[in-house]
């Protein structure tokens, strides 16, 4: 089993290092890790945020553990050279269309949620976000209008095959959970969303045992804060999923807690915390590594066929939190290394 480690920028290397320590502590046989640069770090080393060798390693690997990309010093580069293009490029190149972002509250963290404890208590939602289409990948650019004004544009589009494919992931995910799927769109305004809603409804015919509902994205954001416990599985497009998953993370305690899996059609995956590179705290040793540690857990479960080891990681994180572990984002003062130490001790 080959794992590609792509630490990236900002706090990415700090948190990835700790997740690899936890993997190591599991003592799994036959697991090798190879590392490659990505994002701003790769740009500085070789002039491109996603070097060929890095993409090669990602292709060769059985799974990819990814830190974060994003670097304010790169914000003035042409768009195709910016760090963010590396993660978008790897998702596209590897066909990682299905992004699973679970937001559930560790009971020990009820007081860390941005919501009142009695509201936060019930949050256990899986956001299934489409990851290789939408306004992220449509025709985009800058142009000048007839009136001489600068105009930016980004085309939003989905074809029906793209929608049906992620809808199936949504239905199958819901079926393995509580059997409730909420599809989120903006069909009252967007044609893309009208097709989304029609196709999701058509696919529903194959999943009689899943209860399907639809919400507009603005309402979904409101409902997630008002009563997150009503949601089981959410399926949505790339842009809405990006926004709703950050929102859900704060309902579930902290953005420093949420892992994700990005899967291709055969279950090969890239695993990353949903947070970014957090340049404001990079290099200070205080980033919360739990999202990346939990991402390594998802990697064991979804790509490496090691469900038992994944269970062990999740249980150890729970025990470490129960034992009082709190990094700064959770209102405590544990360092990145101490947080990983606590998880390893709990293993």
Backbone angles phi, psi at 118, to 5 degrees: -70, -20
Q: Is 185 a catalytic residue?
A: no
**Residue 307 in 3-state DSSP?**
helix
Segment interacting with ligand IPM, rule: CB under 6 A, options 5-13, 82-90, 143-151, 324-332:
82-90
Q: Is 246 a catalytic residue?
A: yes
Rounded Cα distance, 127 and 129, in Å = 6
CB 232, CB 177: distance < 8 Å: yes
Segment interacting with Mg ion, rule: CB under 5 A, options 174-182, 203-211, 239-247, 262-270:
239-247
Which residues 6+ apart lie within 8 Å of 94 measured at CB?
Answer: 58, 59, 264, 268, 270
Give buried/exposed letters for 203-235 (b at 16+ CB in 10 A, else e).
Answer: bbeebeebebebbbbeebbeebeeebeebbbbb
Indicate whether 272 belongs to the interface with Mg ion (CB under 5 A). Answer: no
Rounded Cα distance, 190 and 171, in Å = 23
Partner in contact with 210, chosen from Mg ion, ligand IPM, none, beta carbon below 5 to 8 Å by kind: none
The residue within the footprint of ligand IPM, chosen from 9, 71, 84, 232 (CB under 6 A), is: 84
Indicate whether 14 belongs to the interface with ligand IPM (CB under 6 A). Answer: no
Q: Is 56 a catalytic residue?
A: no
Q: Is 286 a catalytic residue?
A: no
Chain centre distance of CA 246: 9
The residue within the footprint of ligand IPM, chosen from 26, 42, 87, 224 (CB under 6 A), is: 87
Segment interacting with ligand IPM, rule: CB under 6 A, options 80-88, 187-195, 251-259, 319-327:
80-88
Rounded Cα distance, 97 and 241, in Å = 12
Site for ligand IPM in 244-303 (CB under 6 A): 274, 276
Which residue, 26 or 291, is less far from ligand IPM as judged by CB?
A: 291
Indicate whether 242 belongs to the interface with Mg ion (CB under 5 A). Answer: yes
Q: Is 232 a catalytic residue?
A: no
- Residue numbers at the binding site for Mg ion (CB under 5 A): 242
- Residue numbers at the binding site for ligand IPM (CB under 6 A): 70, 84, 87-88, 242, 274, 276
């Amino acid at each position: 089993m080959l794992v590609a480690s792509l630490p990236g920028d900002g706090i990415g290397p700090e948190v990835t290092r700790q997740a690899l320590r936890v993997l190591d502590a599991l003592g799994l046989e036959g697991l090798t890790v190879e590392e490659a640069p990505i994002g701003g770090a790769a740009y500085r080393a070789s002039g491109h945020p996603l070097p060929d060798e890095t993409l090669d390693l990602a292709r060769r690997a059985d799974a990819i553990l990814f830190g974060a990309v994003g670097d304010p010093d790169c914000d003035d580069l042409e768009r195709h050279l910016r760090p963010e293009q590396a993660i978008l490029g790897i998702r596209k190149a590897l066909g990682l269309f299905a992004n699973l972002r679970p937001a559930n509250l560790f009971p020990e963290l009820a007081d860390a949620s941005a919501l009142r404890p009695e509201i936060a208590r019930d949050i256990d939602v899986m956001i299934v976000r489409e990851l290789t289409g939408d306004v992220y990948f449509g025709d985009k650019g800058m142009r000048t209008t007839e009136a001489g004004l600068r105009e930016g544009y980004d085309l939003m589009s989905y074809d029906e095959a793209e929608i049906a494919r992620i809808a199936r992931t949504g239905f199958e995910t819901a079926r393995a959970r509580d059997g409730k799927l909420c599809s989120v769109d903006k069909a009252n305004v967007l044609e893309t969303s009208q097709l989304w809603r029609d196709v999701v409804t058509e696919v529903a015919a194959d999943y009689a045992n899943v209860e399907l509902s639809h919400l507009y994205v603005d309402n979904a954001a409101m409902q997630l804060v008002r009563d997150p416990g009503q949601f089981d599985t959410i399926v949505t497009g790339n842009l809405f999923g990006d926004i709703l998953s950050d929102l859900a993370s704060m309902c579930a305690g902290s953005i420093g807690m949420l892992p994700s899996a990005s899967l291709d059609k055969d279950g090969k995956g890239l695993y990353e915390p949903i947070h970014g590179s957090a340049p404001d705290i990079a290099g200070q040793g205080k980033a919360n590594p739990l999202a990346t540690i939990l991402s390594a857990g998802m990697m064991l479960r979804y790509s490496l066929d090691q469900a038992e080891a994944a269970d062990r990681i999740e249980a150890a994180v729970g025990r470490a939190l129960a034992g009082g572990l709190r990094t700064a984002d959770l209102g405590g003062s544990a360092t990145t290394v101490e947080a990983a130490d606590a998880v390893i001790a709990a293993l």
